[in-house]
């Protein structure tokens, strides 16, 4: 039996995205439509289609991931299920109470105290008063805000505000549970708590719809997945297959946004394993193939490829400056092949930056920009796929194998030799 059903759902945003208009602008729009009607033609609908005739079903008790690139329509789908917005065409049917674990934090009211906010938000999210009363302490301790619960929220740090909003939402007991990626809120221990909470909801048989870019956590939590691509359902079914489809699309596609003055043009990026597929492993080999076309002969080109996880600086810089130095390139088409024997990145999605510059002059033949994506799907075997490291921004994305040992230095005989796991609570003191 289904719990959520999308029936031919389309959603169009009027002005290309959420924003408000002025009366003047809309009067102009009315004029446009009236003149179109007078000429006996239908006005072209304006705005952008976030979802385009989307149909899928979520079984009761199942947990389903919505995956896809930015702007694919994932968040819009969640907003429809949680009734925040309504479809332009088609309908969404839901059986049971929907709860959304989204960050209501930014809607927390600054002038009210933490305590007042718990009551206000609890009731807005549909938690009955006696339930809030009985779970109040639990919510406050989940958010870790006991000492400041009677302080006005405007004196909270932004992290505290988000934790408060999340803690309230996390204590809903809905039939259908809707979670947006915004889960990456707060510090690592708070994230771990949220994931734990989600996992327990899933195991207790609730329906989960989960939006995430984090493929490891999707694979861990959701047996089924739906891939959205520019507002359409591109694949649906068991997660492994859908994720593979997504990774194939990501790893073998190039973003073409040439900037003026570029003498090189990129036509294809393929991030693959030596076997030729797109399933990359932590500490496995990465092969990057970049197909490019030179507009003219150039005699001193430095190629730079960099991987980034979206933070300000790059994680890994691969530059011919460090190896073969300046390379000449003739007019025409070329393939640049770059091999990293052991890629020290944990599972995740990484941006590929590319640039080409002159070795002698401060000139770019191709200005630095993101040309595509590398997806690491499989983590190191010695680290079980614990959900918290996959979502956490507190842990870095770089992984290196290591050993750690504890030696006693006050004269007493050392414990049995060899590497050991360190547990700070047991070993200290």
Tokens of 51: 């979802």
64 is a site residue for other proteins (CB under 8 A): yes
311 is a site residue for other proteins (CB under 8 A): no
Find the binding residues for other proteins in span 358-387 (CB under 8 A): none
Least distance to other proteins, CB of residue 111, Å: 5
Contacts within 8 Å (CB) and 24+ apart, 391-397: 391/183, 391/184, 391/191, 391/195, 391/212, 391/214, 391/217, 392/184, 392/188, 392/191, 392/192, 393/184, 394/187, 394/188, 394/191, 395/188, 395/346, 397/309, 397/315, 397/345, 397/346, 397/348, 397/350
Say if residue 275 is exposed, middle or buried (CB neighbours under 10 Å; 0-12, 13-18, 19+): exposed
93 is a site residue for other proteins (CB under 8 A): yes
In this complex, which beta carbon is closest to other proteins, that of residue 57 or of residue 144?
Answer: 57
237 is a site residue for other proteins (CB under 8 A): yes
Helices marked H in 125-233: 129-143, 158-170, 188-203, 215-221
The DSSP bridge partners found for residue 348 are: 376
| Cβ density class 162-181: b for 16+ within 10 Å, e for less | bbbbbbbbbbbebbbbbbbb
Of positions 29, 49, 53, 125, contacts other proteins by CB under 8 A: 125
171 is a site residue for other proteins (CB under 8 A): no
The region of 81-89, 268-276, 299-307, 404-412 touching other proteins under the rule CB under 8 A is 81-89
84 is a site residue for other proteins (CB under 8 A): yes
119 is a site residue for other proteins (CB under 8 A): yes
Least distance to other proteins, CB of residue 236, Å: 7
**Interatomic CA distance for residues 228 and 56, integer angstroms:** 11
The region of 21-29, 370-378, 391-399, 413-421 touching other proteins under the rule CB under 8 A is 21-29
Answer yes or no: are the C-beta atoms of 390 and 222 closer than 8 Å.
Answer: no
In this structure, the dihedral spanned by the alpha carbons of residues 258, 264, 269 and 273, taken in order and rounded to 10 degrees, is -150
204 is a site residue for other proteins (CB under 8 A): yes
In this complex, which beta carbon is closest to other proteins, that of residue 11 or of residue 272?
Answer: 11
Of positions 53, 151, 199, 224, contacts other proteins by CB under 8 A: 224
Helix (H, G, I), strand (E, B) or coil at 1: coil
200 is a site residue for other proteins (CB under 8 A): no
Of positions 35, 46, 55, 106, contacts other proteins by CB under 8 A: 106
Least distance to other proteins, CB of residue 102, Å: 6
Least distance to other proteins, CB of residue 24, Å: 9
223 is a site residue for other proteins (CB under 8 A): yes
129 is a site residue for other proteins (CB under 8 A): yes
Helix (H, G, I), strand (E, B) or coil at 246: helix
Of positions 54, 153, 221, 236, contacts other proteins by CB under 8 A: 236
In this complex, which beta carbon is closest to other proteins, that of residue 13 or of residue 395?
Answer: 13
Q: Which residue has the tokens 């290591």?
A: 402
Of positions 73, 74, 78, 82, contacts other proteins by CB under 8 A: 82
Q: Angle at the Cα of 107 (from 105 to 112), degrees rounded to 5?
A: 95
What does the binding site for other proteins look like in residue numbers (CB under 8 A)? 1, 3, 13-15, 18-23, 26, 56-62, 64, 79-98, 100, 102-104, 106-107, 109, 111-112, 116, 119-120, 123-126, 128-129, 175-176, 204-207, 223-224, 236-237
């Amino acid at each position: 039996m289904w719990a959520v059903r999308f029936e031919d759902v389309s959603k169009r945003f009027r002005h290309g995205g959420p924003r408000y208009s002025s009366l003047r602008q809309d009067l102009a729009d009315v004029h446009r439509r009236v003149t179109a009607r007078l000429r006996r033609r239908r006005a072209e609908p304006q705005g952008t289609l976030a979802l385009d005739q989307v149909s899928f079903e979520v079984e009761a008790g199942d947990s389903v991931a919505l995956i896809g690139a930015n702007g694919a329509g994932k968040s819009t789908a969640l907003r429809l299920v949680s009734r925040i917005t309504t479809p332009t065409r088609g309908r969404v049917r839901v059986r049971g109470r929907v709860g959304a674990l989204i960050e209501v934090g930014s809607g927390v009211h600054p002038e009210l105290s933490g305590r007042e906010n718990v009551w206000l938000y609890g009731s807005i999210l549909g938690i009955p008063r006696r339930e809030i009363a009985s779970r109040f302490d639990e919510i406050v301790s989940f958010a870790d805000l006991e000492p400041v619960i009677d302080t006005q929220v405007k004196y909270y740090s932004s992290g505290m505000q988000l934790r408060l909003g999340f803690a309230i939402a996390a204590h809903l007991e809905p039939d259908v549970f809707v979670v947006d990626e915004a889960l990456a809120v707060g510090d690592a221990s708070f994230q771990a708590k949220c994931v734990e909470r989600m996992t327990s909801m899933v195991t207790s048989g609730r329906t989960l719809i989960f939006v995430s870019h984090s493929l490891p956590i999707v694979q861990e939590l959701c047996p089924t997945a739906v891939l959205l691509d520019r507002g359409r359902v591109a694949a649906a079914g068991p997660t492994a297959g859908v994720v593979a489809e997504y990774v194939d699309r990501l790893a073998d596609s190039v973003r073409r946004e040439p900037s003026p003055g570029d003498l090189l043009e990129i036509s294809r990026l393929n991030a693959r394993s030596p076997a030729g597929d797109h399933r990359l492993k932590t500490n496995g080999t990465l092969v990057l193939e970049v197909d490019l076309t030179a507009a003219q002969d150039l005699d001193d080109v430095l190629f730079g490829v960099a991987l980034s996880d979206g933070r300000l600086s790059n994680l890994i810089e691969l530059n011919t400056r460090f190896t073969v130095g300046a390379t000449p390139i003739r007019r025409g088409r070329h393939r640049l092949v770059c091999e990293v024997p052991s890629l020290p990145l944990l599972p995740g999605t990484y941006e590929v930056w590319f640039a080409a510059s002159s070795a002698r002059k401060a000139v770019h033949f191709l200005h630095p920009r993101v040309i595509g994506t590398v997806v690491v799907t499989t983590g190191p075997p010695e680290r079980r796929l614990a959900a918290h490291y996959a979502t956490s921004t507190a842990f870095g994305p770089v992984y290196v194998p290591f050993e750690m040992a504890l030696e006693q230095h006050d004269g007493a005989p050392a414990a049995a030799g060899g590497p050991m796991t360190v547990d700070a609570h047991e070993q200290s003191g």
